[in-house]
Structure 1
Amino acid sequence: MSREITLQPITADAFAPYGDLIDCAGDPDRIINQGLCGRYHDRARLDFADGRAGISLFRAEPRILPMRLEMVERHPDGSQCFVPMSLDPFAVIVAPDEGGSPGTPLAFRTAAGQSINFHRGTWHGVLTPLSAPGLFAVIDRIGDGANLQEHWFENPFSVVE
């Protein structure tokens, strides 16, 4: 039996328990580069237990909604930041932690130009582009040891519009 989760527009407040919404909301913190560039300063908190920050590229296949959500994962040793390399929205699925297991997931849709940073230990769905090319820069922990926990739902969810 599948349970439905409705995709909703992402907001900084709604996403705050799970991570940082990275965008150019509001006025820039500084004007730089001879007055031709607004700097929106320090928009995400990178957090690593050990290791170092690294930048990787991910190319993910686009998903079509409705989409079956069978599994979420988390990274206990580091935050994970996804920066799309196109202006296409993507789906962001998160779940609260309930005693070491994920609770009921939420699903968000980003707007063009938005990125996200999952807090360390946040349950989240896999990278979910909604259109091609599905290319992302990912800033996360590079280091020794396992930094991945997966949870497979006994009763999957269905992510819908």
Structure 2
Amino acid sequence: MSGDRILVASALTREAFAPFGEVLDVGGRDARPMNGDRAVRHHALAAAEASGPDARIILSIAVSKPVAHPVRVTMVERHPLGSQAFMPLGDGTLLVVVCPDECGEPGRPQAFVTAPGQGVSYRAGVWHGILAPIGERQGYLVVDRDGPAINLEERFFAEPWTVRMPPSDS
């Protein structure tokens, strides 16, 4: 496939993902006992954002088919009026594609692979790829904005990007 543009996916870390949002996991976070020490609450993993008239934060569940290999990124989207978080409901992994904003358009994409149980929270206005579980169908808790204003922009790349997955540790 000549002319392909290649992205090399790397492990998702808080530091690498910081320009785009927050990593959702329980490692190294504010853990608080609750329910008489029967549970632990991992507090304030990310802040949800919603702006515009009659906006509200909603919780949903999405179930997605896995991405096919090779992974080709043809488009990204963003939500200018609110953040969007995806937390897996199982131990699957997720391909996360994000782009810096360059004058209102997506810049060069970056690709990450979550660890099992890790999720992401995209800040409002961050260009990102579609929900892309790796290997198997996966369910996600989705936290995002609902309201009457248009909160979705999509951009298609003139030429697709192909993602190279990092080597597996097995």
- In structure 2, do the counterparts of structure 1 residues 27 and 122 end up closer, same or farther at CA, with 3 Å as the change threshold? closer
After superposition, what is the alpha-carbon deviation per residue over 1:19-61, rounded to whole angstroms, capped at 9, x for unaligned?
1101111264322222232221101010111310111221211
**1:1-161 alignment runs, 5 A limit:** 1-26=3-28, 28-50=30-52, 51-161=55-165
Unaligned runs of 5+ in 1: none
Once residues 140 and 28 of structure 1 are traced to their aligned partners in structure 2, the CA distance between those partners, rounded to angstroms, is 22
SS of residue matched to 1:154: strand
C-alpha RMSD of matched pairs (Å): 1.3
**Contact 2:91-2:117 at 8 Å conserved across structures:** yes
Structure 2 residues not aligned, in runs of 5+: 166-170
In structure 2, how many angstroms separate the alpha carbons of the residues matched to 1:82 and 1:88?
12
Residues of 2 paired with 1:97 and 1:31: CA distance? 39
Cα 1:85–1:154 shift into 2, 3 Å: same
- TM-score norm. by structure 2 comes to 0.90
Q: Would you say the 8 A contact 2:75–2:156 is kept in 1?
A: yes
Whether the 8 Å CA contact 2:29–2:43 is kept in 1: the answer is no
The answer (yes or no) to whether the contact 1:28–1:38 under 8 Å persists in 2 is: no
1:125-150: CA deviation from partner (whole Å, max 9, x where unpaired): 00001132221121111100211111
For 1:36 and 1:145, the matched residues in 2 are separated by 42
CA distance in 2, matches of 1:113, 1:59: 15
Aligned partners of 2:29 and 2:45 also within 8 Å: no
CA contact (8 A) 1:65 1:160 kept: no
Cα displacement (A) at 1:7:
1.1
In the alignment, the residues of structure 1 paired with residue 147 and residue 6 of structure 2 have an alpha-carbon distance, to the nearest angstrom, of 36
